Amino acid sequence: MSRPTPGPFHAARNGPQPGPRAGAARPADIRCAVCGTSSRQSRFRPMPPEGAPDLDLRPGEPLRSTMASWLQQCPHCGYVAPEIAHAHPAAIEAVGTAPFRALIADSTHPPLSRRFLAYAYVLEETGALHAAAEATLQAAWAADDARKPDLARAWRGDAVALWRAGPPLDAEQTVRVVDALRRAEAFDDAANTAGQLAASHPPEAVAGVIALEQRLIALEDSGRHTVASALPPPSRRPHASHGSIARRGVAPGLWERLRRLWRRS
């Protein structure tokens, strides 16, 4: 199966943790698992973010500015993955299709967004719909940075469709669906989804975030807001060394990690 989408949600929930040194490793010759061509690639080593993540869990700095390093792309066949040396059998087929070729050649989309969309297409073809939603949302983040709001809204809507087409969503994932809908200006759908989640009596941290989402939806505010806006502020800024929490394994859950980082114990 394809490797999980990189980024903060992946790091907190699915495993690969920052190594002793963060950032991009020294480039090495990597053989593409799809076409067999070798190319120079760097393997990304995620670093713990120091700033609060957005409500959709786009990480704070310094990780926020490293998106261009999250994926490798074969310069010959266009295959995109965190590590192109590995490929699901369905991914090999997907890279040869006309839709994939058209996607990576579409010059109307920001180049970084194209890379994430190409990865999302491969993931969708392998059946990893939630991972495809993550990659599509990351394409929207790249569109935000490129000041392409129409594309960002459209890709957030596409991410929601992929999340909903996959396995049942837990409360944390549903918060991200609500935020994507709000950022896409689908306020009615966002309000209904937020209301259903609030009525399910979610954990305290999730309830705090969804309450903020409901206030923003009522104001038809489609802007960026951080998790820190939804939680009581800490008495002082956490030291950067608190990022070591992210290296202690997958338990406790992501929202508990956020509470430890952004409010008093």
Which H, E and C letters describe 89-143, residue by residue? HHHHHHHCCHHHHHHHHCCCCCHHHHHHHHHHHHHHHHCCHHHHHHHHHHHHHHH
Q: Are residues 119 and 208 in the same domain?
A: no
Q: How do residues 176-222 score in pLDDT, each as one tens digit?
A: 999 999 999 999 999 999 999 999 999 988 999 999 999 999 999 99
Q: Are residues 206 and 179 in the same domain?
A: yes
Q: What is the pLDDT of residue 25?
A: 60
The rounded mean pLDDT for the chain is 82
Considering only residues 50 and 53, tell me which one the structure prediction assigns the higher pLDDT.
53
Q: Are residues 155 and 226 in the same domain?
A: no
pLDDT band at 102 (very low <50, low <70, confident <90, very high): very high
Domain termination site, one of 167, 198, 222: 167
Q: What is the pLDDT of residue 200?
A: 95
Q: What is the pLDDT of residue 257?
A: 42
Q: What is the pLDDT of residue 233?
A: 56
Q: Are residues 64 and 91 in the same domain?
A: yes
Tell me if 227 is assigned to some domain: yes
Tell me if 53 is assigned to some domain: no
pLDDT band at 142 (very low <50, low <70, confident <90, very high): very high
pTM (two decimals):
0.79
Range of the domain at 263: 174-231+248-265
Q: What is the pLDDT of residue 139?
A: 98
Q: Are residues 136 and 198 in the same domain?
A: no
Q: How do residues 144-155 score in pLDDT, each as one tens digit?
A: 999 999 999 999
Query: 217 with 195: CB under 8 angstroms?
Result: no
- Is 23 a residue whose pLDDT tops 70? no
Number of separate domains in the chain: 2
| Torsion angle defined by CA atoms of residues 237, 206, 59 and 177, in that order, rounded to the nearest 10 degrees | -160
Q: What is the pLDDT of residue 3?
A: 39
Tell me if 66 is assigned to some domain: yes
How is the chain split among helix, strand and coil, in percent rounded to 5? 55, 5, 40
